[in-house]
Structure 1
Amino acid sequence: MFKLPDVMSLLPEVIAKEGSSRFGALVEVWLKQMNDIAETVRVMSEWKAIDKAEGVTLDDIGGNVGQPRGQATDEVYRMLLRSKLARMNANGSLDSVIQVLALALQAKPHEFRLTEQHSDPVEPEPAAVHVSSVPYEKLNSAGLSPAQFVALVERLVAAGVRVSRVELTGTFSLATIVDQLEVNEHGLGDEAMIQGGTLGDMYVPGNDYDLPI
């Protein structure tokens, strides 16, 4: 950003450099226009990135990579664009699926666990995968419902393979000391409900809009 004292200091001494002078007032008007232009250029530069772009600019990025928006919000659309770019190099293996999910939801790969259902001792199924761990907070921050997450996973795995169930993991954990209350980011919530752990869940199908994936 341009500042009036810095600009005035570059001018020759014969010019009155006080900000209250007529010339100083003229320079200040000019600086406002220059700063507005500089801010516009900065935003345009930032909006070249998926994580910064908004609205129609995101649609333009999606058009370049062949990913329509559908009814998705900007947050969900950013996730779709990240996953679209990652899917271009995915091979359908569980490891590549985890890598795509981590990139799409901006998480760490170790936060996800997928297993093939055919080896399940209770409910074996030849063409299904079980998502046994996915951080609930990552879905919430992306504005993604469990049903939409399942649709994303089924788009990543091999054709004909379905997701049998999804276990959403929370951050809640028991106290480390017996008979002592601990209020922190993993324990019970405080009275103001500002901090505390979150519970997990098991996916139950709902009425969600389809994502264009």
Structure 2
Amino acid sequence: MFKLPDVMSLLPDVITKKGSQFGALVEVWLKQMNDLAETLRVMSEWKAIDKAEGSTLDDIGGNVGQPRGQATDEVYRMLLRSKLARMNASGSLDSVIQVLALALQAEPNEFRLTEQHSDPVQPEPAALHVSSVPYEKLNSAGLSPAQFVALVERLVAAGVRVSRVELTGTFALASIADRLEVSEDGFADEAMRHGGTLGDLYVPGNDYELPI
């Protein structure tokens, strides 16, 4: 940002007297220059998926072949990140986990996928069991469990479905019985400002489809 004292200090004293008409003109010019500099800064930032909004995100999506559909900006950012990652994904479980981690801005070790053909209770030849995915990451991305399932099924081989998803929370009990422990992962306080979150089990049903 340009500042009036800095500019005036570069000029001769004869035209920079306090309250001079020239100083007022310079101040008006500086306002225009600062507005232009701010616009250029925003334009530069909006080249990044995580900063862009609205139609600028649509332009990025058009460049990579990812339509928006009904998705909000937050969900659309996730779709764009996953689209870019899918271009180099091989379809293996490890590559699927890498794409999910990038799309949801999480760590790969927060996800766990297993092939269900070896499940001792409900074996299925072409199915995946997502046995660990952080619930809070889906919430922060504005993604429903059904939409998450659609994303996973888009990453794996054709014909492979997701049979169920275990959404992991952060709630945990005390490490020692009959002892109160202050923890961000325990029961909430009276003001409901702190406390762990519960998990859930999701079996695919119906939801609006994402354009993936």
Place the TM-score, normalised by the shorter chain, in its bin: over 0.9
Q: How far did residue 17 of structure 1 move?
A: 4.2
Assess if the C-alpha contact under 8 Å between 1:76 and 1:143 holds in 2. yes
2:201 is aligned to 202
| TM-score (normalised: structure 1) | 0.96
Q: How far did residue 192 of structure 1 move?
A: 1.5
Query: 2:170, 2:98 → 1: CA distance?
Result: 22
Query: 1:82, 1:135 → 2: CA distance?
Result: 18
Query: 2:190, 2:116 → 1: CA distance?
Result: 42
Name the SS of the counterpart of 1:211 in structure 2. coil
Query: 1:181, 1:21 → 2: CA distance?
Result: 70
CA-based RMSD: 1.2
- List gaps (5 residues or longer) in structure 2: none
Query: 2:20, 2:182 → 1: CA distance?
Result: 60
Query: 1:7, 1:17 → 2: CA distance?
Result: 13
Assess if the C-alpha contact under 8 Å between 2:64 and 2:84 holds in 1. yes
Which deviates more, 120-129 or 7-16? 7-16
Amino acid across the alignment from 2:66: Q
Which deviates more, 195-204 or 20-29? 20-29
1:135 is aligned to 134
1:5 is aligned to 5
Q: How far did residue 80 of structure 1 move?
A: 0.3
1:66–1:130 distance in 2 versus 1, CA, 3 Å: same
Query: 1:95, 1:46 → 2: CA distance?
Result: 32
Amino acid across the alignment from 2:12: P
Q: How far did residue 40 of structure 1 move?
A: 0.3
Query: 2:195, 2:53 → 1: CA distance?
Result: 32
Q: How far did residue 10 of structure 1 move?
A: 1.2
Which deviates more, 195-204 or 108-117? 195-204
Name the SS of the counterpart of 1:14 in structure 2. helix
Query: 1:170, 1:46 → 2: CA distance?
Result: 33
CA shift digits 1:115-166 (9 cap, x unpaired):
0001111111000010000000000000000000000000001110000100
**Between Structure 1 and Structure 2, how many residues are aligned?**
212
Query: 2:79, 2:41 → 1: CA distance?
Result: 25
Q: Percent identity?
A: 88
Name the SS of the counterpart of 2:14 in structure 1. coil
Query: 2:8, 2:17 → 1: CA distance?
Result: 6
Query: 1:175, 1:193 → 2: CA distance?
Result: 18
1:104 is aligned to 103
1:194–1:206 distance in 2 versus 1, CA, 3 Å: farther
Query: 1:151, 1:142 → 2: CA distance?
Result: 15
Query: 1:37, 1:45 → 2: CA distance?
Result: 12
Structure 2 residue 32 is the aligned partner of structure 1 residue 53: no
Amino acid across the alignment from 2:115: E
1:91 is aligned to 90
2:167 is aligned to 168
Query: 2:84, 2:104 → 1: CA distance?
Result: 13
Q: How far did residue 22 of structure 1 move?
A: 2.3
Amino acid across the alignment from 1:33: Q
Q: How far did residue 206 of structure 1 move?
A: 5.0
Amino acid across the alignment from 1:187: G
| TM-score (normalised: structure 2) | 0.96
Amino acid across the alignment from 1:3: K
Query: 1:64, 1:116 → 2: CA distance?
Result: 34
Name the SS of the counterpart of 2:209 in structure 1. coil
